[in-house]
Structure 1
């Protein structure tokens, strides 16, 4: 029964995964482009710069305030530590 033409149902190609005869495909079109004509990275350098700037600008208000607060707190802590470990700081806190 494999490969015999039936005018009502066409050609039976066999069970799934085991086709009896190769049936020519119809309606499948493949297009290709020569590798030396492709521009894979066309426009990526400029797009990367502008997209990075745009995304960074949009996130600035979410990122900048915590950094400013952290920098201010760290600066205060460093200055306070230096003061407490100095001679006037030790005298002010009552250590000998």
Structure 2
């Protein structure tokens, strides 16, 4: 029987063979990678990109409200085919969730 396993991990120049040390290294790596929330920042102004438009950055870069999310999800056609991501409205929002 073939088993996928990681026999050794190299971390900061050292090799680790024990399950506990490999688990700790992987846990720390993915906690740092996935568990860190970085706030969105835009190093540019929309007015510099589109100087002919009188647009303020605020409304376009503001967080979505719960109401906007609700309108976007429930405005989708239940009978339409899935989008490019393979999900349609039916598979996106289970009935009775909202």
- TM-score of the aligned structures, taking structure 2 as reference length: 0.25
Return the TM-score normalized by structure 1. Answer: 0.26
Larger-gyration structure (1/2): 1
